[in-house]
């Protein structure tokens, strides 16, 4: 079958993927008709696929949890939050920690009581955490040791209830393990949750300096999950396996990106529930350890930022490994260099090398491709994932542009966010009659492939981390010797791009890169601190409207010209 024929066949013959039209916030969209309506319902829906709970579901270093054990922990935490902490429907509960098993349990436990999960970036400073907690009004935070240190100065001013996890236990009045100890584990609390209720708030950097809280609904998350699940049903119809091919391995995913980003939470963790997949968490990214984990645990799915797949390839070649269990090698969060695609396919011959484009604002659902399509178009982002999304390419006035002409990628689906938290103007700017204007510019060809060419937003993507230029500029302007600053991307072979800054200093002042980094330490997360600095005493280049010409300054700096 062609991909289009396969989609039509699946949605008309498989009741799980039947599609209907539904009204969401006054807009008619296509959505799956018979899927679980909420995120916690995904847990129950995966029971049979995980061997009636008996299969190993989650691994972290020497720890393992069966699906039944994982479910039991979720239920215990849900009851404890409701009965001991008094949390319930609509309460916003924050999580600030590295990739621990407890983070996954908490996501489902919070949503099981009708709460809203607030994902806090584990690399944020106290100042950045302060902003997000004020913005979200979350007053209960589960945190590990390092995050607890950063949260303690905020506790009294924000009236926070801090709950220690792992190395933070014993530091506050509440610990996660003691909360679980006497709580019920047989069933989840009985709570009625509407599919259009809020599920989570994830923070995504924007051009306003402060990160935006992206409000995701249950409907949005589960429709994204089943869009990806449908791809596994379509694939053998488009490319049937050989008659004598061995039985495929059980799906098993290695999580190597932070779980406060959609790249890890949605197409890996949440998808694993109905897909019957196992999840393995890494304590810290280490490419050689990743090779060993994939090899020794028959891991089939790897999804990370492009830097990680490149480093995985280098480590595997060094170790003489081809990782035959891998059938999916994906990249998200940033564009993979086109020259890498063929090299990855050669290094991992059993893996379908894949790329994907999605946003926090779309629950990570978007565009993608794999295998031969990707090898033939290594600079493209792929095709729209069916069947509930619609795509338009628009000019600045909101008109559709002809095929092959540059336009703004604009998508409509039930997976689109509800809003930006506390930012109605920013919401109205990007959400128009159900269509999400993404800020990414690209071209659509006759075959439906999208190539992304530029970003309207002033965002730097460093190894998959979004950094708002205005965020860094705002911090630089606090330096007593800085009169003006502009921030831009600097190409980097490993991370794709890093942060560069050009600053105008006061007369007679000097500023070194090391001095600047020391000044910004504690005010910005380390990944946001510029790695390249250009200084001058003259005014920075201006454009025709007397605004700083960021692009011209960037070009001049990178070419060692006067700015």
Residue 315: CB atoms within 10 Å: 17
Compute the distance between CA of residue 557 and CA of residue 535 in angstroms, rounded to an integer: 10
Beta strands at 161-164 and 407-412: parallel, antiparallel or unpaired: unpaired
Task: Tell me: cis bond preceding 387? Omega within 30 of 0 counts.
Answer: yes
CA distances from 410 to 158, 205, 214, 218, 401 (A): 38, 19, 17, 22, 12
Compute the distance between CA of residue 365 and CA of residue 224 in angstroms, rounded to an integer: 5
Residues carrying CATH 3.30.300.30, the chain: 459-558
CA distances from 292 to 23, 195, 258, 282, 354 (A): 48, 40, 20, 11, 21
Q: Does this model's pTM top 0.85?
A: yes
The two tokens of residue 508 are: 């007679």
Q: Is residue 11 helix, strand or coil? A: helix
| Owner of token pair 């540059």 | 406
- Nearest CA to 272 among 344, 192, 190, 328? 328
Query: What class is the 459-558 domain?
Result: alpha beta
The answer to whether 20 touches 30, Cβ cutoff 8 Å, is: yes
Residue 207: the pLDDT is 46
Compute the distance between CA of residue 511 and CA of residue 307 in angstroms, rounded to an integer: 31
Compute the distance between CA of residue 270 and CA of residue 79 in angstroms, rounded to an integer: 21
Find the helix or strand (DSSP H, E) in which 136 lies: helix 126-136
Per-residue model confidence as pLDDT tens for the chain (563 residues): 999 999 999 999 999 999 999 999 999 999 999 999 999 999 999 999 999 999 999 999 999 999 999 999 999 999 999 999 999 999 999 999 999 999 999 999 999 999 999 999 999 999 999 999 999 999 999 999 999 999 999 999 999 999 999 999 999 999 999 999 988 888 888 899 999 999 999 998 644 568 899 999 999 999 999 999 999 999 999 999 888 888 899 999 999 999 999 999 999 999 999 999 999 999 999 999 999 999 999 999 999 988 899 899 999 999 999 999 999 999 987 778 788 899 999 999 999 999 999 999 999 999 999 999 999 999 899 999 999 999 999 998 999 999 999 899 999 999 999 999 999 999 999 999 999 999 998 899 999 999 987 777 777 889 888 787 878 988 998 899 998 899 999 999 889 899 999 999 999 999 999 999 999 999 999 999 999 999 999 989 977 556 788 889 999 999 987 65
Compute the distance between CA of residue 287 and CA of residue 273 in angstroms, rounded to an integer: 26
CA distances from 201 to 127, 195, 255, 261, 426 (A): 19, 16, 21, 11, 16
Residue 88: CB atoms within 10 Å: 13
- Nearest CA to 118 among 135, 105, 102? 135
CA distances from 121 to 134, 190, 206, 439, 474 (A): 15, 31, 15, 23, 19
Compute the distance between CA of residue 282 and CA of residue 60 in angstroms, rounded to an integer: 7
CA torsion sign, 137 to 138 to 139 to 145? negative
The two tokens of residue 168 are: 């933070």
Compute the distance between CA of residue 153 and CA of residue 291 in angstroms, rounded to an integer: 40
Buried b (16+ CB within 10 A) or exposed e, 223-260: bbbbbbbbbeebbeeeeeeeeeeeeeebbbbbbbbbbb
Residues carrying CATH 3.40.50.980, the chain: 68-216
Residue 362: CB atoms within 10 Å: 24
Find the helix or strand (DSSP H, E) in which 220 lies: helix 218-238
How many CA atoms does the CB half-sphere of 381 hold within 13 Å?
A: 24
Residue 563: the pLDDT is 59
CATH of 68-216, one of 3.10.310.10, 3.50.40.10, 3.40.50.980, 1.10.8.60: 3.40.50.980
508 alpha-carbon distance from chain centroid:
44
Compute the distance between CA of residue 466 and CA of residue 4 in angstroms, rounded to an integer: 34
């Amino acid at each position: 079958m062609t991909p289009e024929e396969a989609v039509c066949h699946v949605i008309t013959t498989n009741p799980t993927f039947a599609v209907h039209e539904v009204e969401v916030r006054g807009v008619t969209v296509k959505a799956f008709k018979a899927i679980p309506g909420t995120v916690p319902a995904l847990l129950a829906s995966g029971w049979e696929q995980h061997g009636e709970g008996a299969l190993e579901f989650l691994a972290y270093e020497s720890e393992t949890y069966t699906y039944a054990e994982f479910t039991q922990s979720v239920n215990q935490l849900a009851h404890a939050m409701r009965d001991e902490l008094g949390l319930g429907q609509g309460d916003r509960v924050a999580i600030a920690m590295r990739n621990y098993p407890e983070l996954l349990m908490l996501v489902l436990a919070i949503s099981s009581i009708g709460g809203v999960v607030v994902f806090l970036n584990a690399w944020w400073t106290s100042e950045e955490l302060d902003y997000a907690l004020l913005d979200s009004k979350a007053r209960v935070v589960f945190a590990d040791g390092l995050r607890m240190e950063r949260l303690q100065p905020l506790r009294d001013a924000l009236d926070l209830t801090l709950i220690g996890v792992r190395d933070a236990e014993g530091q506050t009045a509440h610990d996660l393990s003691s909360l679980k100890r006497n709580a019920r584990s047989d069933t989840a609390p009985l709570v009625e949750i509407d599919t259009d209720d809020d599920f989570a708030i994830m923070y995504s950097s924007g051009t306003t300096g402060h990160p935006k809280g992206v409000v995701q609904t249950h409907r949005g998350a589960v429709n994204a999950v089943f869009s990806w699940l449908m791809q596994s049903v379509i694939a053998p119809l488009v490319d049937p396996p050989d008659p004598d091919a061995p039985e495929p391995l059980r799906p098993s995913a290695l999580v190597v990106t932070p779980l406060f980003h959609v790249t890890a939470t949605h197409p890996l963790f949440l998808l694993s529930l109905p897909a019957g997949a196992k999840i393995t968490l890494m304590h810290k990214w280490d490419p050689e350890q990743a090779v060993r984990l994939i090899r020794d645990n028959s891991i089939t799915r790897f999804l990370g930022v492009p830097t990680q797949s490149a480093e995985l390839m280098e480590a595997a070649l060094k170790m003489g490994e081809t990782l035959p269990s891998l059938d999916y090698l994906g990249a998200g969060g940033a564009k993979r260099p086109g020259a890498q695609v063929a090299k990855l396919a050669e290094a991992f011959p059993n893996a379908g090398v894949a790329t994907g484009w999605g946003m926090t604002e779309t629950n990570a659902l978007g565009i993608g491709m794999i295998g031969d399509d990707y090898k033939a178009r290594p600079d493209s982002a792929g095709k729209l994932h069916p069947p509930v999304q619609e795509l338009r390419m628009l000019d600045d006035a909101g008109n559709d542009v002809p095929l092959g002409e540059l336009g703004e990628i604009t998508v409509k689906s039930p997976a689109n966010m509800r809003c930006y938290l506390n930012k109605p103007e920013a919401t109205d700017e990007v959400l128009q009659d159900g269509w999400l204007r993404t800020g990414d510019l690209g071209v659509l060809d006759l075959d439906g492939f999208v190539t992304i060419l530029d970003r309207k937003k002033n965002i730097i993507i460093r190894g998959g981390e979004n950094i708002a230029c205005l965020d860094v500029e705002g911090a630089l302007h606090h330096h007593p010797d800085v009169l003006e600053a502009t921030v831009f991307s600097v190409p980097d072979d490993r991370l794709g791009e890093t942060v560069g800054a050009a600053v105008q200093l006061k007369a007679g002042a000097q500023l070194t890169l090391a001095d600047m980094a020391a000044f910004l330490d504690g005010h910005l997360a380390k990944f946001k601190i510029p790695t390249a600095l250009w200084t001058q005493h003259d005014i920075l280049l201006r454009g025709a409207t007397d605004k700083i010409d960021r692009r011209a300054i960037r070009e001049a700096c990178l070419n060692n010209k006067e700015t």
